[in-house]
Amino acid sequence: MSKLKIAIQKSGRLHDESLKLLKSCGIKIDNGKDQLKVAIPNFPMEVLYLRNSDIPQYLEDGVVDIAIVGENLLIEKSKAVDVILKLGFSQCRVSLAVPKEAEVLDTSYFEGKKIATSYPNTVNDFLRTRNVKADIHVISGSVEIAPNIGLADGICDIVSSGSTLFKNGLKETEVILRSEAVLAASQQLSDTKQAILDKLLFRIESILQAKKSKYVLMNVPNSKIDAVSDLLPVLRSPTVLPLAEPGWSSLHSVIDEEKFWEVIDALKDAGAEGILIVPIDKMVL
């Protein structure tokens, strides 16, 4: 039986979140210590734990079918792969940074200077758009220390909170790109493997949709059901259940996370009471 091969980081910031997502999809992953290839007993899929920087090449070559990987890495490696879905976690930015005492007005500061980075292609592409020429020094780790030891005048690296830059006496000056974890696919998928991927996508999208939504229950006077219902951005129409107290009903609906407080305030003004908010585990549309 054909199995979909998915690559995730062997270790690193995406590893735990990737496993968490797959397990939320009902995929049982039970691998022993140092096991790099794991068969899934309840879904036609194999998990391969690979070095992060190797994943784009494996995707392009068709060695793996899909992968959970940082969008920034795909941009840097510039391989022929397809981004299928943004996953909403491991959000970060790739930014330029310099010693905190440096006076930086714009990108022209880096003209003729040395920049240490693990993302040379990304940096060069960005500097080219600004007509700035700099000396790119490629290093694979501990980029933040480069200015302190005289290796570079500035750096370009992944930034999440900015605390690592601060601890190393650096300040962020410009964001080159923003990134998050994505589901990427090889361009060599067979029809059989595409069908398996479609099933996996259905599960992942139900989880992502649930994270963006809240389930809301409220008590509403019957005379105000229509007014309250008009405020609810529901899939079809709210569920209305009569309460034991005459003249009152319970309304159930789903609210988009981004519009949550705006909608709640409007519901209260329209007469809703006893509003209860419940997180949603999965949401199948």
Q: How far is CA 253 from CA 176, 199, 207, 216, 229, in A?
A: 40, 27, 18, 5, 9
The CA-based angle 201-205-210, given to 5 degrees, is: 155
275 with 201, same domain: the answer is no
55 with 193, same domain: the answer is yes
Tell me, what amino acid is at 250? S
154 with 13, same domain: the answer is no
86 with 139, same domain: the answer is no
Residue 235's pLDDT is what?
Answer: 62
In tens, the pLDDT along 134-192 reads: 999 999 878 999 999 999 999 999 998 888 899 999 999 999 999 999 999 999 999 99
Per cent of the chain over pLDDT 90 is 71
Number of domains within the chain: 3
Residue 32's pLDDT is what?
Answer: 58
Evaluate whether residue 285 is within a structural domain. Answer: no
Helices 191-211 + 15-24 axis angle, to 10: 100
The CATH number covering residue 223 comes to 3.30.70.120
Tokens of 21: 């997502």
pLDDT at 33 over 70: no
167 with 272, same domain: the answer is no
Which residue range(s) make up the domain with 174?
92-179
Residue 281's pLDDT is what?
Answer: 86
- pLDDT band, residue 230 (cuts 50/70/90): confident
Evaluate whether residue 9 is within a structural domain. Answer: yes
Q: Cα torsion for 251, 257, 261, 264, to the nearest 10°?
A: 0
**H-helix or E-strand spanning residue 220:** strand 213-221
Query: What mean pLDDT do residues 74-86 have?
Result: 96
252 with 186, same domain: the answer is no
Evaluate whether residue 284 is within a structural domain. Answer: no
Sequence-separated (6 or more) residues with CB below 8 Å from residue 279 = 210, 214, 215
* DSSP per position, 27-59: ------TT--EEE-TTSSEEEEEE-GGGHHHHH
Whole-prediction pTM: 0.85
- pLDDT band, residue 127 (cuts 50/70/90): very high
